Amino acid sequence: MKTVIDMLHGAAQRYPQRSYTAKKVDSGWKGWTFADTDRESDLIAAAVLSLGFKKENTTAILAEGRPEWITGEFGILKAAGISVPLSIKLTPEEVAFRVNHSESSGFFISSNTIAKLVSAWPSIDHPPVIFYLDDADENFEKAAAELKLSRGTGIFTWQDLLELGEKELAAAPDAVRALEQSIGEQDVVNICYTSGTTGNPKGIMLTHLNYYTNAEDAIALFDLKDASFSTLIILPLDHSFAHTVGTYASLLRGITLNFVDARGGSMNIIRNIPGNLVETNPTYLMTVPSLSGNFMKKIVSGVAKKGGLINSIFTAGVNAGIKLNGDGFHKPSLGVRLRYTPAHKLASTLVFPKIREIFGSQIQYCVGGGALLEVRQQNFFAAIGVPVFQGYGLTEAAPIICSNTPMRHKFGSSGVIAPSIECKIMKSDTEEAAVGERGEIVIKGLNVMKGYFKNEKASKEVLRDGWLWTGDLGYIDADRFLVVTGRAKALLIAPDGEKYSPEEVEEAIINHSQAVSQLMVYNDHKAFTTALVTLDTETVRAWKDGMSGSIDEQVDELMRRIEEDLYRFKEKDPKLVPLQWVPSSFEIIQKEFSEKDKLINSTMKLVRHKVIETYQDRIDAMYEEKDFYNSRNREAVKELFYS
């Protein structure tokens, strides 16, 4: 049977004494073998079954990555239940929505996140049983008192669950294994919520077969043959990439998962990464562009501080490595190799080995997921000998669709399609694109989700005749690499892969502004959000007509009023748009977006990727100069109202 439970049983048999998960405790690093996890998850399953949990009951998980997260989820799955992984970044309101929508009967929570559950509690329709992933501590006692729950009934510590499970299995040793016989490949493992629009996310239903298939694809793509690999889990386990490649794919090759030390809260996670890397000495890492980007900046600045000869050797070595690697697929000419090999070899001997030590002594590569990795990072890390391979996927695909690998990679692409997946590029609903032509990425495979939970309409929109229409744009190049070029729906995407609906931000601004005619909010893996805006000329002209002074003075005053108007929505409700997605700058476009220019479609909706292509230079300029009062905007105002 192709279930993740069978994958765990198989790993426990093949690698019984090898550590599956590990975390740092006061005495050092503590590990749990594959056999430990298999047995302890039996105890968790027996415990929740004794509390009345039934097949397909859902249980939310809101906690930092840790061994108990994995063991707890497997316990729920062995009890024929469904887990609902939640991001620790969610607001209490967002937590409550997901708990209510998923109808969660249980809730795994940690010392770091229980306060958020307490805040969400009044908004939860049917309060779930709380499973605390730590021992009883001050946070536990405080939460239990605030929620008026008694330990051993409405709220349990991790040790409570293990002891209850021991008692239940002693009385009925075969209870959990017997129930497992009822679990099929098409049963749902997780309901994973999109971040999409606040208050209305979609719950992605992923099955045992989805994960089994995608885990095998991950192993095949990277040609992992032995059980010598280990990693430090930096990404949260609700992140679909970390969930599949971490939790499930590791079962196939006995990969050890060490978790970043999260004691003391989420801020400590970032601070502990450098030390934990050296301590755990990983073979590979899963990362996102924001993390690898920070590594790159710190490496460059750290070497620069050393100055002189070392910095010169480093800089020349990186530049030489970039030349020698080319695009990673096509080899450079003999002339290029002769010219740049000496500089790269010198840096590889004197400087790069010391730099690589920040990742430990065994690091082979990193894999980037969740967001697009800029080519600049790919070139840099390949040059110093710790390549970061870009992959591509989405949660609806469990999530891996393709990836660059050590064996086959091309910088700037998203890699080669996973073995089990069919992929085509569609120019329209019926016309398939030729090689090199851009269109929507459409896939078929056993990794494709079952559908959206309680949302048949949305399921039918993206699942058509067995094909998943991803909403992403791209093309397949002549070397059979998939190149992702943007999103058809153009979701806002932060550097860490978090997504948000641009329509929600646009609606908030337009609904409270007098000066806006059209608006397109933009963030494609950037540190802040920006926007292109066309103005309601009648409104702004009326403002202008009431002004006095020189033209420059009037332009200054007019721009001040426009800027104030653009942010008026914040006066109505400062929380209407999360700060991350509030535009930090606007670029005034003189010409209306029109159907004639193909920037508006027949239903009068923005064709976002066309607007981006048309005004890419203006978008780029905002990220170089985050100032609304720039010369471009001043000239736009002058042209519109004073020419």
Question: Using 50, 70 and 90 to split pLDDT, how confident is the model at 371?
Answer: low
Measured CA to CA in angstroms, residue 554 lies from 89, 360, 517, 637 at distances of 44, 60, 21, 10
Strands 82-85 and 58-62: parallel
Residues 444-464: tens digit of each pLDDT: 999 999 999 999 999 999 999
Distance CA 69, CA 116 (A): 17
Cα–Cα distance, 626 to 530 (Å, whole number): 9
* Residues 142-191 pLDDT 10s: 999 999 999 999 999 999 999 999 999 999 999 999 999 999 999 999 99
Q: Is the per-residue pLDDT at 373 higher than 80?
A: no
Tell me the pLDDT tens digit for each residue of 1-47.
Answer: 899 999 999 999 999 999 999 999 999 999 999 999 999 999 999 99
- Judged against a pLDDT cut of 70, whether residue 634 lies above it is answered with yes
pLDDT surpassing 90 at residue 133: yes
Please give the Cα distance from 136 to 145 (Å, whole number): 13
Q: What is the set of domains in the chain, with CATH numbers? A: 4-280 (3.40.50.12780), 284-386 (no CATH), 390-487 (2.30.38.10), 501-641 (3.30.300.30)
Does residue 601 surpass a pLDDT of 70? no
Does residue 290 carry a pLDDT above 80?
A: no
**Does residue 197 carry a pLDDT above 60?**
no
Predicted pLDDT at 595: 76
Instruction: Tell me if 394 sits within 8 A of 484, measured CB to CB.
Output: no
pLDDT in tens, 342-360: 999 999 999 999 999 999 9
DSSP secondary structure letters along 96-119: HHHHHHHTEEEEEE-TTTHHHHHH
* Contacts of 391 by beta carbon, 8 Å cutoff, 6+ apart: 241, 367, 368, 369, 400, 402, 403, 404, 414, 415
By mean pLDDT, which of 55-64, 335-344, 474-483, 503-512 is the weakest?
A: 503-512
pLDDT digits (tens, 9 = 90+) for 168-181: 999 999 999 999 99
Q: If DSSP codes are grouped into helix, strand and coil, which group holds residue 309?
A: helix
pLDDT at site 326? 95
- The two tokens of residue 89 are 């970044």
User: Is residue 269 predicted with pLDDT exceeding 90?
Assistant: no
